[in-house]
């Protein structure tokens, strides 16, 4: 009960699916970025800024940071509920786990805000 309230989808099946869809998005983004950097070894700031401020690329980047947030939330939830337990940590496990989980959620949301700030602040002409 205490574990489900901090899960992302409030259901194991929902978390399972979100974990896989987000993994797919992040893998596609990684392949694109690595491919782009390999094909443009003499990359300049203007080129890089132009790519990243184009709307389709902003959407792809935003989709990826949202996937990172969901994926990290679910993954960290799994690890914390597996190891920060009464059996392994002691009677204060639930309190300790809630603190860690809320901290993890806060960091995750800050990552999303930071990414939006970067993406919508790009100046092509420096």
Partner 1 sequence: MYSDNHIKVLPAVDNKRPVNLDIGSISLPITSYVSILHRVSGVILFFAVAVFLWLFDASLSSPEGFESVKAMFANPVCQVIVWGSLAALAYHVVAGVRHLIMDFGVGEDSFESGRNSARLALGVAIVAIALVTGWIFLW
Residues that bind partner 1 (CB under 8 A): 1, 20, 23-24, 26-27, 30, 44-46, 48-49, 52, 68, 72, 75-76, 78-79, 86-87, 104, 107, 111, 114-115, 118, 121-123, 126
CA distance 79 to 63: 24
Q: How far is the CB of 79 from partner 1 (least distance, A)?
A: 6
Q: How far is the CB of 10 from partner 1 (least distance, A)?
A: 18
CA distances from 52 to 5, 13, 30, 38 (A): 37, 34, 14, 16
CA distance 42 to 24: 29
Q: How far is the CB of 114 from partner 1 (least distance, A)?
A: 5
């Amino acid at each position: 009960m205490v574990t489900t309230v901090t899960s992302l989808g409030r259901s194991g099946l929902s978390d399972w699916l979100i974990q896989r869809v987000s993994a797919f998005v992040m893998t596609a983004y990684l392949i694109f970025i690595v491919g782009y950097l390999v094909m443009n070894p003499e990359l300049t700031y203007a080129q890089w800024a132009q790519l990243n401020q184009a709307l389709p690329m902003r959407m792809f980047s935003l989709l990826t940071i949202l996937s990172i947030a969901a994926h990290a939330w679910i993954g960290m939830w799994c690890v914390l509920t597996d190891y920060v337990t009464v059996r392994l940590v002691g009677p204060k496990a639930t309190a300790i786990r809630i603190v860690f989980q809320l901290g993890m959620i806060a960091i995750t949301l800050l990552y999303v805000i930071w990414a939006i700030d970067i993406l919508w602040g790009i100046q092509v002409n420096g």
